[in-house]
């Protein structure tokens, strides 16, 4: 890579200063960064929003992935996009207005900070950050450089989810005393695989980025990077962060709790996975409690039907309870739990959330973002807090105003990581 840190930052500052205003009818020049499984979803989603954006570029450390995504863009009616192997080349490109990032978790914050410094708006996948420190720097960067930063918790743009949250606020189940998030997503064993030479066309150094250098291993690459602490946050920070975000939304808070305790383990399997496949976390607030469960093994669901909900949310109040998932929601009232509301969802997938981001890029009002970074980082922080408790094997007290653990230097050290140069998330953005 020829771009030095000095020239990159100089170019970034100039671009940020000269970022142009867009009219309501202008199409956003968009580059998608990270085109594995989730990134392909970004390609398909934005390709359906041709009146709002042009996919002008594809960026990935894997040449084969870039080529597949480029071909898909063209098959969906777009022009051949420019291909980038290094996201810093994207940020230095003056023709790019915004980026949509579906990289592994450990790249979310640094990519967002670099993009903001370069005057680009950012859609970044969940969880917002890899750790608590990074979440704070992402908010700093968005505000300092006046960038639109949308987190990919797309449930915030689904009508039935919005209606459920509104009804909760209006008191449909009375005073809420507990929210429970469920991530019972079946995960089969990843087995064990040996280290091996890096495949041709893969920039392994760039893939690892802020994480420690390790030999290439297939289990640390495509998707399974979720299950290693260097790059992922387990299913709590993968699928679970969606339901964590919905739990906070339904509770009507964007605050941190006063304490967290999380227990569990990796049961049944003998494989390379480091993160737990069974985990429960409890967060204490002054007026209510938030409980979260992860089960990757064979399990039943919870809630109202014979099978129950496996990936969704339960809210309990003084007058009843609500069962909410991607298919809709049900409200049960009174001592006999009589069905009062049965709302079916119209699945719209990702497009409304992408469209909301593009609209904000044009309007320049971050308050119009349904998952603005200041909202999206909170659910990520709760996941990180729970994982820190799990790894330290103890309950942790939290100062909600500062985001620091109370009287626990070891836990506070885990708010961040030792970054591998030059991929360092800065203290000051």
47 and 131 belong to one structural domain: yes
128 and 32 belong to one structural domain: yes
| Residue 429 covered by a domain | no
Q: How confident is the model at residue 203 (pLDDT cuts 50, 70, 90)?
A: very high
Q: How confident is the model at residue 333 (pLDDT cuts 50, 70, 90)?
A: very high
Main-chain phi, psi angles of 133, to 5 degrees: -55, -45
101 and 116 belong to one structural domain: yes
| Residue 338 covered by a domain | yes
**pLDDT above 50 for 41:** yes
Chain segment 214-248, per-residue pLDDT in tens:
999 999 999 999 999 999 999 999 999 999 999 99
The CA distance from 15 to 221, in Å, is 33
Residues, the chain: 429
What string of DSSP letters covers 227-242? Answer: GSTTT--TTTTTTHHH
Task: Give Cα separations from 327 to 28, 163, 292, 317, 378 (angstroms).
Answer: 32, 13, 20, 22, 25
Q: Where residue 131 sits, what CATH number does that domain have?
A: 3.40.50.720
**pLDDT above 60 for 402:** yes
| Residue 419 covered by a domain | no
Q: Which pLDDT score is estimated for 11?
A: 52
Lowest mean pLDDT among 36-40, 59-63, 347-351: 347-351
State if pTM tops 0.75.
Answer: yes
364 and 390 belong to one structural domain: no
Q: Which pLDDT score is estimated for 307?
A: 63
| Residue 376 covered by a domain | no
Q: Work out the average pLDDT over 350-368.
A: 97
Q: Is 299 exposed, middle or buried (0-12, 13-18, 19+ CB in 10 A)?
A: middle
Cβ atoms 296, 268 nearer than 8 A: no
**pLDDT above 80 for 85:** yes
82 and 126 belong to one structural domain: yes
Q: Where residue 234 sits, what CATH number does that domain have?
A: 3.30.360.10
Q: Which pLDDT score is estimated for 17?
A: 44
Q: Which pLDDT score is estimated for 349?
A: 76
Q: Which pLDDT score is estimated for 8?
A: 54
| Residue 98 covered by a domain | yes
| Residue 201 covered by a domain | no
Q: How many CB atoms lie within 10 A of CB 141?
A: 23
**pLDDT above 60 for 184:** yes
Q: Which pLDDT score is estimated for 347?
A: 77
| 335 Cβ contact list (under 8 Å, min separation 6) | none
**pLDDT above 70 for 42:** yes
138 and 238 belong to one structural domain: no
363 and 324 belong to one structural domain: no
Q: Which pLDDT score is estimated for 281?
A: 98
Q: Work out the average pLDDT over 390-418.
A: 98
| Residue 214 covered by a domain | no
172 and 276 belong to one structural domain: yes
65 and 171 belong to one structural domain: no
129 and 97 belong to one structural domain: yes
126 and 142 belong to one structural domain: yes
Instruction: State whether the Cα torsion 350-105-36-429 is positive or negative.
Output: positive
Q: Work out the average pLDDT over 95-114.
A: 98
| Residue 301 covered by a domain | yes
Q: How confident is the model at residue 21 (pLDDT cuts 50, 70, 90)?
A: low
Residue range(s) defining the domain that contains residue 110: 5-155+351-371
**pLDDT above 90 for 7:** no
| 88 Cβ contact list (under 8 Å, min separation 6) | 1, 3, 8, 114
By percentage, how much of the chain surpasses pLDDT 90? 91
The number of folded domains in the chain is 2
255 and 172 belong to one structural domain: yes
């Amino acid at each position: 890579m020829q771009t030095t840190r000095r020239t990159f930052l100089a170019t970034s500052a100039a671009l940020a200063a000269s970022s142009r205003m867009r009219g309501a009818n202008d199409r956003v020049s968009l580059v998608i960064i990270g085109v594995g499984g989730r990134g392909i979803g970004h390609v398909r989603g934005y390709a359906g929003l041709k009146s709002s954006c042009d996919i002008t570029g594809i960026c990935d450390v894997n040449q084969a992935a870039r080529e597949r995504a480029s071909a898909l863009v063209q098959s969906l009616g777009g022009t051949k996009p420019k291909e980038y192997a290094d996201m810093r080349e994207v940020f230095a490109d003056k023709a790019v207005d915004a980026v949509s990032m579906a990289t592994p978790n450990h790249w979310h914050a640094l990519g967002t900070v670099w993009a903001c410094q370069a005057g680009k708006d950012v859609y970044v996948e969940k969880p917002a950050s890899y750790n608590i420190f990074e979440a704070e720097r992402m908010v700093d960067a968005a505000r300092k450089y006046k960038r639109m930063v949308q987190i990919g918790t797309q449930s915030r743009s689904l009508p039935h989810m919005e209606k459920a949250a509104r009804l909760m606020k209006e008191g449909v189940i009375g005073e809420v005393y507990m929210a429970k998030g469920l991530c019972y997503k079946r995960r089969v064993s990843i087995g064990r695989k040996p280290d091996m030479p890096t495949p041709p066309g893969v920039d392994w150094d760039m893939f690892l980025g802020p994480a420690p250098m390790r030999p290439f291993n297939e289990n640390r690459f495509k998707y399974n990077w979720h299950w290693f602490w260097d790059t992922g946050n387990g299913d709590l920070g993968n699928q679970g962060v969606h339901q964590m975000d919905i739990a906070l939304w339904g509770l009507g808070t964007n605050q941190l709790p006063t304490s967290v305790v999380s227990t569990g383990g990796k049961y049944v399997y003998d494989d390379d996975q480091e993160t737990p496949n069974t985990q429960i976390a409890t967060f204490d607030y002054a007026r209510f409690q938030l409980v979260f469960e992860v089960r990757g093994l064979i399990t039943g669901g919870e809630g109202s039907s014979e099978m129950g909900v496996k990936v969704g949310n339960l809210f309990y109040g003084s007058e009843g309870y609500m069962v909410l998932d991607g298919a809709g929601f049900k409200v049960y009232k009174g001592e006999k739990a009589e069905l009062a509301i049965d709302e079916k969802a119209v699945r719209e997938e990702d497009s409304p959330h992408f469209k909301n981001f593009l609209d904000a890029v044009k309007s320049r009002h971050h308050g119009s973002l349904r998952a603005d970074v200041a909202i999206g980082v909170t659910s990520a922080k709760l996941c990180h807090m729970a994982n820190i408790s799990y790894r330290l094997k103890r309950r942790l007290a939290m100062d909600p105003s500062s985001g620091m653990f109370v009287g626990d230097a070891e836990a506070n050290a885990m708010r961040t990581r030792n970054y591998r140069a030059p991929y360092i998330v800065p203290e000051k953005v």
